[in-house]
Structure 1
């Protein structure tokens, strides 16, 4: 009776735990019978079961801890969102305003605008790989400090140079040399700002975002990517309106000063937000160790390869010396020449630019990245070329502004649709459907080339371009996530740099075509070329889909009625 009363006074959970221990001991003799021994010897699921039995009905403490972790993670993500907003708002204000400033400086020519755009694009195209390589080599927080300081400082310097240009017209005696110097300053600092901004994009969007979304609920990365792109597109829509209001209501001269002040204030807030995210996420602080291990393994593999090549070379020389010495001398001379050539090629391959392109071409998602880059070779967007063409056709500026707004809204809509579509189709298939949808909608633009009524043709062109933004941004989000998920941590910077370089190169080719085909009457040729570029992009991505999945569509499901699948 005493034993029974003792057992009955114990908690039922404790009794169940002891029975589990005895059953484990019976099934697996030789194990320790104490709780610590069981947790050390048995798989983790038994330890967790025992732990759950110990706490009994108090498992809600774990739920509360998990809720606390999710709340903390949500705060970190919102810090990232606010930092991205501050950065993008400043970028979009300067991007829109600098063209207007150049027009004010030289009212009768677009030369300064074209030069600025060419210098900025060319700098990213040529130096993007080096910047990406630098991102991989530098610790994350140091790269953020460096990029933020350089980017915002460059915008401030360029803004002050613009103020000087507006205050001192170049037509004054002796003012031309000062004018040229100030224009050079604006272009140089604008290019530096673009490169630093590219570095920030690679650091945050290609690296930090992936690590922050790790070990979270499925779809976290998709949601973060969508919100980040939504912020970007919203700033692209609203920032020009604010800049236009500043220039109209305040003054043109005050606008660059206000933009410079914005960058001075925002840089501190941006860094504080990103620093808070960095210190709260241990995963962000582990890159240097992982990268050192990556470098050490690469060096170890290279040293082993060199030792093997050296031993083989020495063995061959020994065998040749034992035979015919004269023939051996000739062979050694040839081998030395080949060795020098091989050494030169190896050194060439190790150049940061060449090594970056080689690394990019070996990525699993290389075809998807190339497909995205090809889309930048286009006049089918509300950029300067198509806007100038529509203006030549007599389309009022307010209509162009409305069309640009509708296109931006379609892009924002894509950021809401992407998580829903991604949950059903996953990343690869979402990209495949979106690029072909974009190509199909742009067919309307090609039809407009053969419409003789200019108003109807312009309406078709505007409608096709605006509607195609839905497919474009869905595809952009798909490829971005593909590269985030497939590129190794140690290569994210250089791969992101090459991707941006490719996109800038295609953008430059667009302007080059615009310089060759200068007559507005021939703009239909550039429309067809752009349409062909989108088709090329779709085919490249379809090749990626086939390589990854082994097929493009489930033809058996397409051919059979739905009721057959349900039987």
Structure 2
């Protein structure tokens, strides 16, 4: 359809009478009674876009033909998958997300997350079983995964953004992840048993001519496992991006409804944290009770059995939700951004240059977003080793804490993390009730007018209220983490036996002298570290929703892909520092570096909130409170 005709049609659609006279050939209906106004005629759908009208007459998003330029029209795969389902069998529920949709969405995400978390931990066990006398294999695997994430996370996010069919994107990530895990499980089955007769560490330090053939075969299979691990890691990242940055943002109900974005984010993160806690425990029990090879078979079988169920549940949600059904808008500027002039075609240099240009463009788009300071502050938290991860657990074991105590503390910390998914929705709702709250997206919000609206019982802007609640709760969350890590730092310093007390500041020495007893020291260390996790995950959840709502939908996943690249980079820095400062008495410097990173993140986020809201503290309210207290005291 020509541009002027398209504009004319839009004018008809937005007219109060909703008259469609003059466009009878553009109107079709489906079994649910929804109207579709499309610009194509006959069998020619090359320039077709549509608007879906539900039974109440409200419009779905409009897709202009110009924006469809460069969009892939290869949805035949999804059409074939749904060919057995007639139009009358597709029950579309137009009024937001229903309970059945949410159940299927949670089920699909649960199975995906369970398989991802299970394989992440199981691969560590399998590597240790295959190469029991050296840490080299585990180090190689960790470095390869981290570097792959740094290099390719933004590309995965861009792919999710540019694929117009949401179902096809999600199913591709599910299938790629399952194939990678099943293929790796087959290889792990032959690799996990250590080779007899090989000296400890010899598999990584022999000369080429002295390598036994079985060792060469085992090394080759381990190399294939590393490649499949990269595919598994990137497909898992793509699955999370597609689900958390596209599906739930698109399918969520309006703010204040039962299945709004805040609620969906909290439940999805709760599923993730529960799987992160339970899946490693279960696979550890299986390996301990039945052997490593049975554990390998369990991982592969779980992935195989859940594959079909995940796809079925995802299709169920996609079929019933008209927002997910609609083809995603892909900005026509994407192709122009990736064009590099003055480079000869059909050369490898052109391909490399285009890839580097796109990679750089992803970072440029990231820093052009309004919410990048909050995102960067979140990624910097991964510089901290003050969490129940490998480096910190190794330090605790080296200073004499038992594995049983560490396990109990880690479980308590996980319970606190899960509780953040319950606290966050209520916190956003409560803190979003503030009036006269400065700025919204950098623009001054209404002050007295908003208060007048509240006095008249008029509904305030729900979007503004939600954003206010997210910004304020995020600031509370990261501040909570920062303050509760202070006792943890003091406890870690007191555990460093090589520090003479006289070398510390007098105040610090007095504080450390009060927590030198082992029971009290353990309580201070584990209690405050565990409750600090509440602030971390509250901040994580609020920042996730801010990036979901304040980032362009055409770049939402690529934005998160760059964010994941920063996360992997900071984790790599943390591991490199741990390699350099590898003695237990030197861990205090790693801990101090982590606390400093949290403090810097707090400053960055607070400055961003101040710019967005115009203030951090209601000084006028504090003044009024002081006046009230003074009046009461006078009485």
Q: What TM-score bracket applies, with the shorter chain setting the length?
A: 0.7 to 0.9
1:448 matched to 2:491: yes
Aligned residues: 462
- The answer to whether the 8 A contact 2:380-2:601 is kept is yes
Instruction: Extract unaligned runs of 5+ from structure 2.
Output: 1-14, 20-54, 57-92, 199-211, 343-349, 432-468, 496-515
1:365 matched to 2:371: yes
Out of 150, 162, 174, the position equivalent to 2:213 is: 174
Structure 1 or 2: larger helix share?
1
- The answer to whether the 8 A contact 2:274-2:418 is kept is yes
Instruction: Extract unaligned runs of 5+ from structure 1.
Output: 1-37, 43-60, 63-67, 307-335, 337-343
1:133 matched to 2:133: no
Structure with the greater alpha carbon radius of gyration: 1
Out of 473, 482, 494, the position equivalent to 1:439 is: 482
Distance 1:112 1:465 in 2: 31
Deviations 1:48-87 (A, max 9, x none): xxxxxxxxxxxxx99xxxxx87796121111111111101
Distance 1:165 1:265 in 2: 23
- Aligned pairs for 1:201-280 (under 5 A) are 201-215=240-254, 217-218=256-257, 220-280=260-320
Are the structure 2 counterparts of residues 213 and 178 from structure 1 closer, same or farther at C-alpha, using a change threshold of 3 Å? same
Which SS does the other structure have where 1:561 is aligned? helix
Distance 2:158 2:298 in 1: 34
Distance 1:251 1:479 in 2: 42
Are the structure 2 counterparts of residues 170 and 177 from structure 1 closer, same or farther at C-alpha, using a change threshold of 3 Å? farther
Distance 1:143 1:69 in 2: 22
Deviations 1:471-491 (A, max 9, x none): 000000010000011111111
Q: CA RMSD in A?
A: 2.8
Question: Equivalent residue for 1:537?
Answer: 601
Q: Quote the offset at 1:217 in angstroms.
A: 3.5
Which SS does the other structure have where 1:399 is aligned? helix
Out of 99, 117, 128, the position equivalent to 1:103 is: 128
Out of 172, 185, 191, the position equivalent to 1:159 is: 185
Which SS does the other structure have where 1:217 is aligned? coil
Out of 604, 612, 618, the position equivalent to 1:554 is: 618
Deviates further, 519-528 or 272-281: 272-281
Q: Quote the offset at 1:257 in angstroms.
A: 1.0
Deviates further, 85-94 or 433-442: 85-94
Question: Equivalent residue for 1:143?
Answer: 169
Distance 1:134 1:297 in 2: 11
Question: Equivalent residue for 1:461?
Answer: 525
Q: Quote the offset at 1:107 in angstroms.
A: 1.7
Which SS does the other structure have where 2:256 is aligned? coil
Distance 1:296 1:375 in 2: 33
- The answer to whether the 8 A contact 1:168-1:175 is kept is no
Deviates further, 71-80 or 371-380: 71-80
Which SS does the other structure have where 2:555 is aligned? helix
Question: Equivalent residue for 1:405?
Answer: 411
Distance 2:334 2:297 in 1: 50
Distance 2:570 2:338 in 1: 35
Which SS does the other structure have where 2:98 is aligned? helix
Are the structure 2 counterparts of residues 183 and 40 from structure 1 closer, same or farther at C-alpha, using a change threshold of 3 Å? closer
Deviations 1:119-139 (A, max 9, x none): 112211111011111111112
1:414 matched to 2:420: yes
Distance 1:296 1:357 in 2: 16
Q: Quote the offset at 1:369 in angstroms.
A: 0.3
Q: Quote the offset at 1:511 in angstroms.
A: 0.5
- The answer to whether the 8 A contact 2:96-2:321 is kept is no
Are the structure 2 counterparts of residues 168 and 99 from structure 1 closer, same or farther at C-alpha, using a change threshold of 3 Å? closer
Q: Quote the offset at 1:110 in angstroms.
A: 2.4
Distance 2:619 2:183 in 1: 59
- The answer to whether the 8 A contact 2:130-2:194 is kept is no
Distance 1:392 1:353 in 2: 42
Deviates further, 522-531 or 174-183: 174-183
Deviations 1:389-445 (A, max 9, x none): 000011111111111100100001111111111101111111011100100000011
